[in-house]
Amino acid sequence: MKKWYLFLVLAFLTALVVACSSDSANENEEDTAGSEDTTETESNDTESEEASGNEEVTLRVAWWGGQERHDRTLQVIEMYEEQNPHITIEAEYSGFDGYFDKLNTQLAAGNAPDVIQFGGNLNDFVARDVILPLDDYVGNEIDTSLHDESMLDSATFDDQLYGVTLGTTAWGLLLNKTAFEEAGVSMPSKEWTWEDFKELTPQLTENLDGTYGTGDFGEDGFGVFLAQTDKFTYLDGEIGFDQEDVKEWFNLWKELRESEGAAIPEVQVSASQTPEQSLIVQRDVAIESIASNQLGAYTGATEDEFELYPYPANSDTSKNGVSLRPSQYFAAYKDTEHPEEAAKFMDFFVNNVEATEILGNDRGAPVNADVRENLIDQASELDEAVYSYIALVSETSDAPFIPNLPGYNENTQLFTETEQIIYYDQKSVDEAAEDYYEELLSNIEKYENEDEE
């Protein structure tokens, strides 16, 4: 990978700051010493520890991910505990499946972890008033002076910051290059279209023993599909698509199953978002939709060679619909007994140079400009592949970042149930799409009303 390409990535990611560059500049001027983030943090740590008499503190930190993420995060936790011997961190980690069910149970019981990893559903938990606003800690325990303003905006609700963005990512398709070679199917151009996709996937199924061409792209794929025609799911109180869009999406996948390009329902319903148990790692499919920051986790779980691709483009608009977006957030439980210590740990996680070298790009390209530049300078081959994909997205797509629907978990379950109703012919595509759309509108109205209460 040529170095100039990585600098192109850096240049683009730096451009994310442009919208609020003046604000960031002011913030930097007010806190000039804060630009020496690691030194400042260590100084603050020392002062606070002295003031608190090094009170013994136990923090519970929760996240989901694959084994690679677990290993990297545990290394950083060990480093943090060595540098802060009065802190003990109890790690609570798992795969994605069941993560939020467990968290909801903990929240209901009033014993949620102190620091919690969220995805695009952070807004739902903020609306439930279970997340600690971080504004009182910014500039003290947390330094955001070098963070991309757009990523700060994504975690800001009603003018309050509720989360620290852990990385920048983009949806993409993981193609199993090894399976393509075994099937005798040439890898497509990265300017491919849905027509190419429909032609290629049945060939993979036919030529591979027990492996289908593709897994279903799910609700996230539907959002990308909408963006290809400048539509969106939900933004600023407005829903940006109609029933016909839903029908078109589900008919596309029905057609793919009928052509045997897509996995049969019995395989699809076993899909897991945990890399090691995913359909593509288990060799059930040759193509799967993932977030770009997960390339390393998926690659590390198999000996097959994977490559990231953008979604097939709409042949009428030539748009692939992929956008850059925050990967995950760390946020603090509102009733944590140790808000300052929780804030310090989050700061360490995203701003400490040595810690971020361990974490790499597993949660996406870092949001701290200095940290990002440091990682680019020492990028591994896998890191370079992620940076290259981010650069490709920036060059080929103008799709904006659209936050998740309000009521994310409930609406994602509704989408999955609708898929399964169609899989097993319990309703026609038209009937299922109409029912989905009607219930979705009802859910959105319900969550909007909750926000206003």
DSSP 28-88: HHHTGGGGSHHHHHHHHHHHHHHHHT---EEEEEEEE--HHHHHHHHHHHHHHHHH-TTEE
Domain membership of residue 295 (yes or no) is yes
State the DSSP string of 230-294: T--SEETTEE---HHHHHHHHHHHHHHHHTT-BPPHHHHTT--SSGGGSTTTTTSBSEEEEEGGG
Question: Of the candidates 367, 328, 395, which has an alpha carbon nearest to the alpha carbon of residue 16?
Answer: 367
Strand partners, 93: 63
Query: Beta strands of 87-167 (E only): which ranges?
Result: 87-94, 115-118, 156-157, 160-161, 164-165
C-alpha separations of 263 from 29, 415, 417 in Å: 55, 18, 17
Q: CA–CA separation, 304 vs 176, rounded Å?
A: 7
- Same-domain status, 352 and 407: no
Tokens at 325, concatenated = 């977006």
User: What confidence tens digit (pLDDT) does each residue in 13-31 have?
Assistant: 544 433 333 333 333 333 3
Query: Same domain, yes or no, for 440 and 387?
Result: no
Q: Tokens 């500039």 correspond to what residue?
A: 139
Per-residue confidence (pLDDT) for residue 417, from 0 to 100: 97
Residues 304-313 have pLDDT tens digits of 999 999 999 9
164, with CB counted inside 10 A (0-12, 13-18, 19+), is: buried
Consecutive H or E run containing 331: strand 329-332
Domain final residue, candidates 394, 422, 440? 394
pLDDT in tens, 42-94: 445 545 444 455 789 999 999 999 898 999 999 999 999 999 999 999 999 99
Inter-axis angle of helices 37-52 and 339-351, nearest 10 = 160
Whether residue 281 sits in one domain with residue 209: yes
- Average pLDDT (33-46) is 41
If we measure between CA atoms, which residue out of 385, 171, 199 comes closest to residue 289?
171
Residue-wise pLDDT tens digits, 104-114: 999 999 999 99
Do residues 283 and 238 share a domain? yes
Among 143, 145, 163, residue whose Cα is nearest residue 154: 163
In this structure, is residue 415 part of a structural domain?
A: yes
Domain hosting 406: range is 170-323+402-451
Contact 90, 59 (CB under 8 A): yes
Nearest to 168 by CA among 350, 373, 325, 11: 325
Residues 336 and 208 in one domain: no
Strands 160-161 and 156-157: antiparallel
- Please state the φ and ψ torsions of residue 171, each to the nearest 5 degrees: -70, 145
- In this structure, the answer to whether residues 276 and 338 fall within a common structural domain is no
* Count of domains for the chain: 2
CA angle 226/154/309 to nearest 5° reads 45
Query: Is residue 314 in a domain?
Result: yes
What size, in residues, is the chain? Answer: 453
| Burial annotation 362-396 (CB, 10 A radius, 16+ → b, else e) | bbbbbbbbbbbbebbeebeebbbbbbbbbbbbbeb
- What CATH number is associated with residue 406? 3.40.190.10
- Provide the pLDDT for residue 237: 84
Residues 429 and 363 in one domain: no
In a domain, 6, yes or no: no
Q: Which residues pair with 63 in a beta bridge?
A: 93
Question: Which amino acid type is present at position 200?
Answer: L
Adjacent-strand bridge partners of 131: 333
pLDDT at 53: 57
Question: CB within 8 A of 389, min separation 6: which ones?
Answer: 170, 172, 292, 295, 308
Q: Which of 394, 414, 437 is the last residue of a domain?
A: 394
* Domain end point (choices 350, 374, 394): 394
Please, what is the average pLDDT of the chain? 87
Q: Are residues 82 and 112 in the same domain?
A: yes
163, part of any domain: yes
What is the C-alpha to C-alpha distance for residues 352 and 202, in angstroms, rounded to an integer?
48
Do 156 and 293 sit in the same domain of this protein? no
Are 223 and 232 within 8 A, CB to CB?
A: yes
Which is more confident, 139 or 153? 139
Shared-domain flag, residues 297 and 446 = yes
Distance from C-alpha of 156 to C-alpha of 352, rounded to nearest angstrom: 23
Task: Judge whether 226 lies within some domain.
Answer: yes
What pLDDT score does 32 carry? Answer: 30
pLDDT tens for residues 413-429?
999 999 999 999 999 99
CB burial readout 33-66, b (16+ within 10 A) else e: ebeebbebbeebbeeebeeeeeeebebbbbbbbb
pLDDT of the residue at 10: 47
Distance CA 400, CA 404 (A): 13
* CA distance linking residue 406 with residue 238, whole number of Å: 11
Domain presence at residue 14: no
End-to-end CA distance of the chain: 53
Distance CA 188, CA 197 (A): 9
Q: Is 47 inside any structural domain?
A: no
Confidence of residue 450 (pLDDT cuts 50, 70, 90): low
Quickly state the pLDDT bin for 451 (edges 50, 70, 90).
low
Q: How many angstroms separate the CA atoms of 170 and 387, rounded?
A: 11
Residues 80 and 223 in one domain: no
* Shared-domain flag, residues 331 and 378: yes
- Partners of residue 288 on adjacent β-strands: 174
